Homo-oligomer: A and B are copies of this chain.
Amino acid sequence: MLDSSLKNKFEFILVEPSHPGNIGATARAIKNMGFHNLSLVNPKDFPNDDALYRAKGAKDILDNVKVYDDLSSPLEDATLIFGTSARTRTIPWPTKTSSELGTVLKKTLESSNAKICFVFGREISGLSNEELQMCDYHIKIPTDEDFSSINLSHAVQIISYVLKMELDSIDSTQEIKDETPTFQDNEYLIDHFDKVMRQIDFYDQENPKQVKTRMRRLIKRLQPDKLETGILRGFLAKIEQILNKKN
């Protein structure tokens, strides 16, 4: 479960987005993963009806969007900044792939004033070198080498998904499952199949041991629940009943 106060430590920042639809789709994407803070730097067109339409049930995120003139303002009190980058830059920067986020985050989240920013660049040209150099890490979403340009809101969706997975695993509790049949229940079921297979001379057709072993492996792998065990044993019992009546 994602702790609400933990979520509030994260902020998504779009730099100069051109398409208002992408702003709306981004609002929906982060809310889907339990995040709330969205900031815009010099959006071309916002507020806008298309943003509202694409946001669907995430109107509240748009209502609370903060708009800035430059990237350094929202970053002022940030304690950890990631900038997304598709291209390889002339000056290599500490880079993490989306799947390596966990270790970096864990350390930062322990801090009482943690504010973790994810900065996404323009649809066409991404982030400038100056903007990228404001970031602690560059973050790279692994894509197909021949087609690496991800839609802006889709990139946000991937990052926010990975973040949620990481945060959920930091504070995870074991899921409680339904009652499972015991070893003994499964043995009864295997024996029941064996008994009926004998009765109908099924083993005559093939190597008998082979078939029983296969059935055992099948039941073991299946791990039937209580109800399924009931159906299978009921089915076998009904067949037995009919066979016995006829003899």
Contacts and interface: CB of A to CB of B under 8 A. Distances in A.
Contacts of A218: 222, 224, 228, 231
Interface string A91-133: 0000000110000000000000000000000000000000000
Contacts of A165: 99, 142
A168 B142 contact: yes
Contact of A56 (B33, B142, B149): B149
A47 interface: no
* Residues of A contacting B: mostly: helix
Instruction: Kindly report how many copies of this chain are found in the complex they form together.
Output: 2
A232 to B, nearest CB: 8
B238 A32 contact: no
Given A32-B148, A58-B147, A228-B218, A141 B161 contact: yes
A202 B239 CA distance: 9
A206 B231 CA distance: 9
Given A58-B147, A149-B32, A205 B234 contact: yes
B144 A31 contact: yes
Contacts of A6: none
A38 to B, nearest CB: 14
B231 A200 contact: no
A86 B234 CA distance: 33
A88 interface: no
Interface stretch (A65-73, A77-85, A151-159): A151-159
Nearest to A29: B154
A32 B214 contact: no
Given A158-B161, A214-B231, 19 more contacts: A2-B144, A25-B154, A28-B150, A28-B151, A29-B151, A31-B144, A32-B143, A32-B144, A33-B143, A54-B151, A58-B147, A99-B165, A142-B165, A144-B164, A200-B238, A202-B234, A205-B234, A211-B231, A218-B224
